[in-house]
């Protein structure tokens, strides 16, 4: 199709009006008669033995309907999955424990559940549960936890739960050829998703004995995991996913669902459970902290010859998605560069900290900080411009990823995006104040979209054209706020030539909508977009062929525009769409279908040396920033922030820009202010006055530049953008700080204090 | 101790009921069906619960329900009764100022209250005005665009 | 079922009566920005909430002879929008503009800010350099104390169980009209101060006639830095003096380390903020002062 009607237009999203008017019902905006209120008793200690739990007093409290501990959970220990249906083997699926049993592994771990008539009673009941702990030493640093003889967090004889590697060439030879070698260690902290809607939902048992869970979740396929916990058949648990108030990977693991299911199962009543903000920060997943030891070697002309990286990540107390995240960090560790000799080793280690799992970027933002800082350092040392050094080394079409050797068959928008971003900075800001120094930084990167190919990913969609020309879509797609649902409507509107207003979509329901897979891994535009396109095109074809018959023209001469099947180049010759639908219905032609779209499938790689295709495709981007640093206070102000990505095709430019702008600020928080401080297992920042994210007053007007190569695997050549958008801004900012004041921050976040300590060494050392 | 009688108007409608002494205006409103007022932190630190109380935008989680006794409260659902409210809603929709939408009800209330007092602000002033309303999704750019567009329209029609 | 009793008196005297009866069993509620989070965290032991927000007597900003009077229910935004404070007492409006965010500023009061007695109470800092007087009443007694003698420790003041603040007053003097406030937080809005400094200065013939310096988040309570003040008093202004004063400020503050910043950074930054505030004021007082 050459000319688009609605694809590529900045149209309002399908869900926009319901959101501005306050009509939309999020997970917590719904209640049922007789609903009980649940609360979770959480461990007071990061590491302790549970000697005994006495729930008798709590049970006796008036209004308490259930008190559950590990012994009440039919299958308290299962494995962590995130919706995959293929077998991936032991390396990935770790222990998922519903309630702490015998031992607690992190502060905030769920120990007992209460359901009561009111929230106040439930809270009181928590106070009445007596848990006898015997504290244990615990281990809080992944590097310590790796050492032989370290305190063991779990039941296995090592805290290391995953090891991954990639290599190509020969690094010894590579470094020997290098004219310059840089070695350094970088650290990044725990980060919270900080979506404004905390985790929560409501569950009830319907007339047929099915447990219904209405919840904000990125992975409704967890209905299977919840059924396994209860020992029920999978079709006895139903997820009804709501529009989420943000997800960013934090609603990718099971949050409240197993608790809700257990409580509603025991009490036979509807149950509501919502986390407070403190609870959310304390005990839902975090982004992995990493300690990253890098060594890179280059020739005098800046050409990279070798890279050696050792990454150690803190998985926290349970595995969740740590192995996957670490696999991705490994694949991403050499960035978008051609390096002949590469070796990467990644270790994923349990500690008694809050567990870590998916967080927007899924293991990419962490190594990106290092390799992009090192590229900048090389540029400075070799006196090459930041843009030029990237030009000389970046991947281009037909080249392969330096870690796994995966070949890029479609257009690689490097160095194009870097050039555009750098140029867009324009003139350097003038600065009168002698205590304010201005500087610029650049970073480039790549990030996959779509799940790992050995997960054998698929998405399904159902589309039905009604007799009045309206359309009904059913897709299991969860929407975390990115406009995933609206996108499907737009595709159908395009293909069937109808306005968005004539489309009704039902989404995110495991009983009634075909499963579309998870809203994770920046996969929905690609996966569900393609499934929807496939379904819409099937119906389109049937309409067109019927119309061709009626109009007596060749089908390729026809298009559907504004609810008319028209003869192209002779728009006066047409049939109203409803007429054609009528004719199809009379002839018994099916104007509905359910289809499945499959991603490319590969086998599980050798994890010690990952080679070949592991992801369907990648998105390439660059970010450029200009900062002003106050050399007396250490405060950093971002003056300009440019984000430039090859998005393939911007199906809805407003949504794509939204991801790029929002992603930039998400990453700016990572660079400058965000950190969940966990000291000896104790979270020190359990509120929004302690866990600081940027406010409107802190941000620049992000400028998004869209490159549309059409080279993506998604519908109309689209690529994914959600996660890539946030994954390289942090190093761009660090590089700009260096440019401004000559200080390189190697330990995020780059707070004013860290900057001043580096700038005023003489003052602080005295 | 019993609950206390409370009379107030919400979005122009009279409500006569009871509230607990310590109940926040946020909990009270949500309990009475005004679920468009969102709860993101219950500590005054996010702005999702913003409502207009006697012509001022306030965080309802750090206001007692009983402090709204005999007063007027407006939530985002009442915005369609005001020209400025409708303009803002439309502008948010058209400029793509909405992603997950969880901050939106509070954001629109803050913007409405601010523009009522200060109809033609510049972008920097808008950023300060909404600095008590966090948004994790948009990076604020499109929210500022949407509010600024209404300000520009205000200026034109002046 | 309410956990608390709620009373909303119409007059100050009613409040005092209730306080007299209930003592520590009562908790005054003003803007509620501290009280409600504290109720939620179960940190309030009192059982009676006295909502004073409907008492007109406790509101407003007036000029009273040679003084400025602030009702304890003055909201932070009123400090910004009042002609009286915004024109002549910039040190107050500067602090108000850095306070929380525009929404919290609509309800949070200065009375509440002082009684909270947080080391980071932002409005306390300019009120200290304005040498404000706190008017306190109970059914027993009426008394006035200097703000610098009001704070006892973190969260603690000299207020007795049966007392309340009924007003805050400061002089309309030259030194009070020449003030400057600076705050450093982790971000530009909704930030709890890492450090704040306010300075009020009166210069005569290049000599410091009067100076008051106060600092927040660098000691157990908001503090006046009287040591640095007396060091500077009557001295001629020059760069060396400023450098020495910075050291005095850094010596005099007693910060702690917490999640927001270390003791050392706070010490460093309070000296710096002093320098910046002082120079702003000195620059506009005497034009010959260089850099
Ligand atoms: C999101 C957020 C951001 C904040 N940011 C800041 C900030 O930037 N800077 C800052 O300084 N503070 C800040 N605070 C803290 C708080 O808002 C202030 O301390 C505020 O001034 C308290 O005033 P209030 O009227 O809300 O007090 P309330 O919560 O009503 O009362 C606080 C205390 O004062 C007592 N009290 C109130 N009035 C009187 C009176 N007249 N006589 C005797 N006792 C009285 C109450 O009994 C209570 O103990 C913030 C709070 C929040 C929630
Ligand atoms: S819920 Fe009120 S400010 Fe967050
Ligand atoms: S749109 Fe999600 S928080 Fe603002």
Q: Which of B34, B47, B134 to mutate to test the pocket of ligand 2 (most atoms within 8 A of CB)?
A: B47
pLDDT at C291: 39
Q: How far is CA A180 from CA A168, A333, A381, B26, in A?
A: 20, 20, 9, 61
Task: Tell me, in angstroms, the distance from the centre of ligand 1 to residue C154's CA.
Answer: 14
Is residue A483 within 8 angstroms of chain B, CB to CB? yes
**B47 C-beta closer than 6 A to ligand 2:** yes
**How far is the alpha carbon of A53 from chain B, nearest alpha carbon, in Å?**
31
Residue ID of nearest Cα to ligand 3 atom 3: B135
Pocket-forming residues, ligand 3, beta carbon under 6 Å: A 196, 246, 481; B 98-103, 135-138
Q: Which ligand is nearest to the CA of C189?
A: 1
Is residue A245 within 8 angstroms of chain B, CB to CB? yes
- Percent of chain A exceeding pLDDT 90 equals 97
List the single residue in B22, B128, B134 with the smallest CB-CB distance to C3.
Answer: B22
Question: In B, which residues are within 8 Å of A248 by CB distance?
Answer: 136
Cβ contacts of A430 within 8 Å, gap of 6 or more = none
List alpha helices for A383-443, DSSP H: 386-393, 416-424
CATH fold label, B3-77: Ubiquitin-like (UB roll) (3.10.20)
- Give the SS3 label for residue B46: coil
Structure token digits, residue A755? 């900057």
Chain B, 28 to 57: residues with Cβ < 8 Å from chain A are 35-43, 45-46, 48
For residues A548-577, give the mean pLDDT: 95
Is residue A556 within 8 angstroms of chain B, CB to CB? no
**Considering chain B, what is the average pLDDT of its residues?**
97
Cβ contacts of B152 within 8 Å, gap of 6 or more = none
Nearest CA in chain C to B2: C1
For residues A183-192, give the mean pLDDT: 98
pLDDT digits (tens, 9 = 90+) for A227-246: 999 999 999 999 999 999 99
**C136 C-beta closer than 6 A to ligand 1:** no
pLDDT band at A2 (very low <50, low <70, confident <90, very high): low
List the single residue in C259, C262, C272 with the smallest CB-CB distance to A690.
Answer: C259
pLDDT at A1: 45
Q: Is the peptide bond before A415 cis (omega within 30 degrees of 0)?
A: yes
Task: Tell me, in angstroms, the distance from the centre of ligand 1 to residue A673's CA.
Answer: 25
**C56-171 under CATH 3.30.360.10, yes or no:** no
pLDDT band at C284 (very low <50, low <70, confident <90, very high): confident
- Give the SS3 label for residue A57: helix
pLDDT at A88: 82
Sheet of C48-51, strand order = C5-7, C48-51, C26-29
Answer whether A698 sits within 8 Å of C189, measured CB to CB.
Answer: yes
List the single residue in A21, A277, A481 with the smallest CB-CB distance to B89.
Answer: A21
**B132 C-beta closer than 6 A to ligand 1:** no
**Considering chain C, what is the average pLDDT of its residues?**
96
Task: Tell me, in angstroms, the distance from the centre of ligand 3 to residue B99's CA.
Answer: 5
Is residue C184 within 8 angstroms of chain A, CB to CB? yes
Is residue B137 within 8 angstroms of chain A, CB to CB? yes
**B46 C-beta closer than 6 A to ligand 2:** yes
pLDDT digits (tens, 9 = 90+) for C27-49: 999 999 999 999 999 999 999 99
pLDDT digits (tens, 9 = 90+) for C182-203: 999 999 999 999 999 999 999 9
DSSP annotation string for B105-150: HHHHHHHHHHHHH-SS--HHHHHHHTTTS--SSSTTHHHHHHHHHH
For residues A590-617, give the mean pLDDT: 96
**How far is the alpha carbon of B10 from chain A, nearest alpha carbon, in Å?**
14
Answer whether A662 sits within 8 Å of B131, measured CB to CB.
Answer: no
Burial of B40 (0-12, 13-18, 19+ CB in 10 A): buried
For residues A2-19, give the mean pLDDT: 93
**How far is the alpha carbon of A704 from chain B, nearest alpha carbon, in Å?**
10
Burial C161-170 (b: 16+ CB within 10 A, else e): ebbbbbbbbb
pLDDT digits (tens, 9 = 90+) for A343-359: 999 999 999 999 999 99
List the single residue in C190, C259, C269 with the smallest CB-CB distance to A695.
Answer: C190
* Pick from A79-88, A723-732, C81-90: least confident: A79-88
For residues A27-42, give the mean pLDDT: 97
Structure token digits, residue C4? 């608390």
Answer whether C107 sits within 8 Å of B58, measured CB to CB.
Answer: yes
pLDDT at A89: 75
Index of the ligand 2 atom closest to the CA of residue B49:
2
- Report the distance separating Cα A115 and Cα A305, nearest Å: 61
pLDDT digits (tens, 9 = 90+) for C76-99: 999 999 999 999 999 999 999 999
Q: What percent helix, strand, coil does chain A show, rounded to 5?
A: 30, 25, 45
Is residue A28 within 8 angstroms of chain B, CB to CB? yes
Question: In C, which residues are within 8 Å of B44 by CB distance?
Answer: 33, 36-37, 100, 104
Question: In C, which residues are within 8 Å of A677 by CB distance?
Answer: 259
Task: Tell me, in angstroms, the distance from the centre of ligand 2 to residue A557's CA.
Answer: 57
Q: Which ligand is nearest to the CA of A659?
A: 3
List alpha helices for A337-394, DSSP H: 365-382, 386-393
- Report the distance separating Cα A665 and Cα A701, nearest Å: 10
Q: Which ligand is nearest to the CA of B40?
A: 2
Question: In C, which residues are within 8 Å of B133 by CB distance?
Answer: 103
Q: Which of A178, A408, A493, A463 is nearest to A307 (CA)?
A: A178
- Report the distance separating Cα C18 and Cα B105, nearest Å: 39
Q: Is the peptide bond before C288 cis (omega within 30 degrees of 0)?
A: no
Tens of pLDDT along chain B (158 residues)?
Answer: 789 999 999 999 999 999 999 999 999 999 999 999 999 999 999 999 999 999 999 999 999 999 999 999 999 999 999 999 999 999 999 999 999 999 999 999 999 999 999 999 999 999 999 999 999 999 999 999 999 999 999 999 87
Chain A, 727 to 756: residues with Cβ < 8 Å from chain C are 751-753, 756
Asked if pLDDT for residue C290 goes beyond 60, the answer is no
Is residue C256 within 8 angstroms of chain A, CB to CB? no
Domain boundaries, chain C: 5-51, 56-171, 178-290
pLDDT at A733: 98
Domain boundaries, chain B: 3-77, 82-156
List the single residue in A635, A677, A763 with the smallest CB-CB distance to C259.
Answer: A677
The complex's ipTM?
Answer: 0.98
Answer whether C189 sits within 8 Å of A752, measured CB to CB.
Answer: no
- Give the SS3 label for residue A682: strand
**DSSP state for residue B68 in the 8-state scheme:** G
pLDDT band at A324 (very low <50, low <70, confident <90, very high): very high
**C5-51 under CATH 3.30.43.10, yes or no:** yes
In CATH, what number does C178-290 get? Answer: 3.30.390.50
Domains and CATH numbers, chain A: 16-24+458-598 (3.30.365.10), 31-136+199-274 (3.90.1170.50), 364-451+615-765 (3.30.365.10)
Q: Which of B43, B44, B47, B66 to mutate to test the pocket of ligand 1 (most atoms within 8 A of CB)?
A: B44
Sheet of A617-630, strand order = A436-449, A617-630, A636-646, A703-707
- Report the distance separating Cα A572 and Cα C15, nearest Å: 81
Architecture of domain B82-156: Orthogonal Bundle (1.10)
| C neighbours by CB contacts (3+ pairs under 8 Å) | A, B
For residues C8-35, give the mean pLDDT: 98
* Pick from A255-264, B148-157, C126-135: least confident: B148-157
Pairing mode, strands A341-350 and A678-679: unpaired
- Give the SS3 label for residue C49: strand
pLDDT digits (tens, 9 = 90+) for A454-504: 999 999 999 999 999 999 999 999 999 999 999 999 999 999 999 999 999
**How far is the alpha carbon of C58 from chain A, nearest alpha carbon, in Å?**
30
Residue ID of nearest Cα to ligand 3 atom 4: B135
pLDDT at A760: 96
Tokens 């973190």 found at? C154
Index of the ligand 1 atom closest to the CA of residue A689:
1
pLDDT digits (tens, 9 = 90+) for A385-399: 999 999 999 999 999
Is residue C106 within 8 angstroms of chain B, CB to CB? yes
Q: Which of A529, A530, A189 is nearest to A356 (CA)?
A: A189
pLDDT at A391: 98
Name the maximum alpha-carbon separation found in chain B.
56
Q: Which of C26, C33, C109 to mutate to test the pocket of ligand 1 (most atoms within 8 A of CB)?
A: C33
């Amino acid at each position: 199709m050459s000319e688009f009607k609605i694809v590529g237009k900045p149209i309002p999203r399908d869900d926009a009006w319901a959101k501005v008017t306050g009509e939309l019902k999020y997970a917590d905006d719904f209640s049922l008669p007789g609903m009980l209120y649940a609360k979770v008793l959480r461990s007071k200690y990061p590491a302790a033995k549970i000697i005994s739990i006495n729930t008798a007093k709590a049970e006796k409290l008036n209004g308490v309907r259930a008190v559950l501990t590990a012994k009440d959970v039919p299958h308290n220990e299962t494995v962590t999955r995130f919706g995959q249906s293929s077998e991936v083997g032991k390396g990935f699926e770790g222990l998922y424990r519903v309630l702490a049993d015998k031992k607690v592994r992190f502060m905030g771990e769920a120990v007992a559940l209460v359901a009561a008539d009111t929230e106040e009673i439930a809270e009181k009941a928590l106070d009445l549960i007596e848990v006898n702990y015997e504290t244990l030493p615990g281990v809080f640093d992944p590097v310590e936890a790796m050492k032989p003889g370290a305190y063991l967090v779990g039941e296995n004889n090592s805290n290391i739960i995953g090891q991954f590697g990639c290599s190509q060439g020969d690094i010894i030879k590579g470094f020997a050829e290098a004219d310059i070698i840089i070695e350094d260690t970088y650290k990044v902290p725990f980060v919270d998703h900080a979506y404004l809607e905390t985790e929560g939902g409501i569950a009830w048992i319907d007339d047929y004995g099915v447990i219904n869970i209405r919840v904000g979740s990125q992975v409704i396929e967890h209905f299977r995991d919840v059924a396994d916990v209860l020992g029920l058949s999978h079709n006895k648990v139903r997820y009804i996913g709501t529009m989420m108030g943000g997800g960013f990977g934090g609603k990718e693991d099971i949050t409240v669902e197993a608790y809700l299911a257990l409580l509603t199962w025991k009490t036979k009543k509807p149950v509501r459970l919502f986390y407070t903000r403190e609870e959310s920060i304390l005990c839902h997943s975090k982004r992995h902290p990493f300690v990253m030891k890098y060594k890179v070697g280059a020739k005098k002309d800046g050409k990279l010859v070798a890279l050696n990286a050792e990454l150690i990540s803190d998985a926290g107390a349970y595995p969740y998605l740590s192995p996957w995240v670490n696999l991705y960090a490994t694949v991403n560790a050499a960035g978008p560069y051609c390096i002949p000799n590469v070796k990467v080793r990644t270790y994923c280690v349990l500690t008694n900290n809050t567990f870590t799992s998916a967080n927007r970027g899924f293991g990419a933002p962490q190594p990106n900080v290092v390799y992009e800082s090192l590229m900048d350092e090389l540029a400075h040392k070799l006196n090459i411009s930041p843009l030029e050094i990237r030009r000389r080394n970046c991947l281009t079409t037909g080249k392969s990823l330096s870690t796994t050797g995966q070949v890029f068959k479609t257009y690689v928008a490097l160095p194009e995006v870097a050039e555009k971003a750098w140029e867009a900075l324009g003139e350097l800001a003038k600065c009168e104040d002698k205590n304010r120094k201005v500087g610029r930084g650049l970073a480039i990167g790549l990030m996959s979209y779509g799940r790992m190919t050995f997960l054998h990913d698929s998405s399904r969609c159902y589309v039905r054209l009604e007799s009045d020309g309206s359309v009904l879509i059913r897709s299991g797609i969860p929407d975390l706020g990115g406009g995933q649902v609206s996108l499907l409507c737009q595709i159908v509107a395009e293909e069937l030539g109808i306005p968005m207003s004539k489309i009704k979509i039902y989404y995110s329901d495991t009983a009634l909508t075909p499963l579309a897979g998870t809203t994770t891994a920046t996969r929905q535009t690609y996966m569900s977009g393609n499934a929807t396109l496939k379904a819409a095109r099937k119906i389109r074809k049937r309409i067109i062929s019927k119309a061709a018959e009626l109009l007596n023209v060749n089908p390729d001469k026809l298009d559907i525009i504004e609810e008319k099947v028209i003869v192209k180049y002779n728009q006066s010759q047409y049939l109203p769409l409803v007429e054609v639908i009528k004719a199809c219905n009379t002839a018994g032609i099916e104007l509905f279908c359910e289809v499945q779209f499959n991603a490319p499938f590969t086998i599980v790689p050798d994890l010690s040396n990952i080679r070949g295709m592991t992801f369907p495709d990648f998105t390439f981007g660059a970010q450029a920033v200009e900062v002003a640093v106050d050399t007396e206070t250490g405060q950093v102000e971002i003056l300009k922030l440019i984000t430039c990505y090859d998005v393939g095709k911007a199906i809805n430019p407003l949504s794509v820009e939204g991801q790029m702008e929002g992603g930039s600020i998400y990453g700016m928080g990572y660079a400058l202010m965000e950190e969940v401080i966990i000291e000896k297992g104790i979270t020190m920042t359990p509120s929004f006055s302690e866990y600081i994210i940027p406010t409107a007053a802190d941000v620049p007007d992000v400028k998004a530049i869209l490159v549309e190569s059409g080279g993506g695997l998604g519908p109309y050549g689209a690529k994914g953008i959600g996660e890539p958008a946030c994954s390289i801004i942090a190093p761009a900012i660090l590089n700009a700080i260096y440019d401004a004041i000559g200080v390189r921050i190697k330990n995020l976040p780059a707070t004013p204090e860290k900057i001043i300590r580096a700038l005023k060494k003489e003052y602080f050392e005295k | 101790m019993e609950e206390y009688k409370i009379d107030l108007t919400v979005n122009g409608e009279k409500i006569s009921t009871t509230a607990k002494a310590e109940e926040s205006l946020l909990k009270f409103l949500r309990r009475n069906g005004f679920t468009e007022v969102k709860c993101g932190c219950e500590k005054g630190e996010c702005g999702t619960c913003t409502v207009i109380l006697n012509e001022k935008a306030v965080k309802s989680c750090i206001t007692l329900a009983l402090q709204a006794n005999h007063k007027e409260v407006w939530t985002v659902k009442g915005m369609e009764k005001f020209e400025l409210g409708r303009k803002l809603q439309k502008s948010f929709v058209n400029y793509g100022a909405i992603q997950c939408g969880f901050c939106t009800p509070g954001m629109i209330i803050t913007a409405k209250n601010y523009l009522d007092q200060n109809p033609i602000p510049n972008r920097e002033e808008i950023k300060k005005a909404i600095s008590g309303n966090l948004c994790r999704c948009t990076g604020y750019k499109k929210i500022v665009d949407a509010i600024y567009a209404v300000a520009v329209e205000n200026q034109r029609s002046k | 079922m309410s956990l608390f009793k709620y009373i909303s008196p119409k007059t100050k005297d009613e409040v005092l009566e209730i306080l007299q009866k209930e003592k520590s069993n009562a908790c005054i509620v003003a803007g509620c920005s501290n009280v409600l989070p504290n109720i939620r965290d179960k940190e309030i032991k009192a059982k009676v909430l006295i909502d004073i927000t409907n008492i007109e007597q406790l509101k407003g900003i007036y000029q009273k002879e040679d003084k400025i009077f602030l009702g304890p229910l003055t909201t932070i935004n009123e400090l910004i929008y009042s002609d009286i404070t915004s024109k002549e007492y910039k040190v107050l409006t500067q602090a108000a503009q850095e306070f929380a965010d525009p929404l919290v500023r609509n309800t949070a009061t200065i009375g509440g800010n002082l009684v909270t007695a947080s080391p980071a109470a932002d409005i306390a800092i300019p009120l200290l350099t304005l040498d404000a007087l706190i008017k306190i009443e109970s059914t027993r007694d009426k008394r006035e104390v200097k703000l610098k003698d009001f704070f006892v420790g973190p969260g603690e003041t000299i207020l007795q169980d049966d007392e309340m603040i009924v007003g805050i007053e400061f002089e309309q003097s030259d030194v009070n009209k020449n003030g400057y406030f600076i705050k450093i937080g982790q971000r530009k809005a909704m930030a709890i101060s890492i450090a704040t400094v306010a300075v009020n200065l009166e210069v005569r013939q290049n000599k410091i006639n009067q100076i008051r310096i106060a600092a927040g988040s660098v000691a157990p309570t908001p503090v006046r830095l009287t040591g640095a003040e007396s060091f500077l008093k009557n001295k001629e202004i020059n760069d060396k003096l400023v450098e020495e004063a910075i050291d005095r400020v850094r010596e005099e503050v007693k910060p702690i380390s917490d999640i927001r910043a270390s003791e050392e950074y706070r010490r460093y930054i309070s000296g710096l903020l002093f320098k910046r505030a002082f120079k702003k004021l000195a620059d506009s007082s005497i034009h010959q002062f260089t850099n």
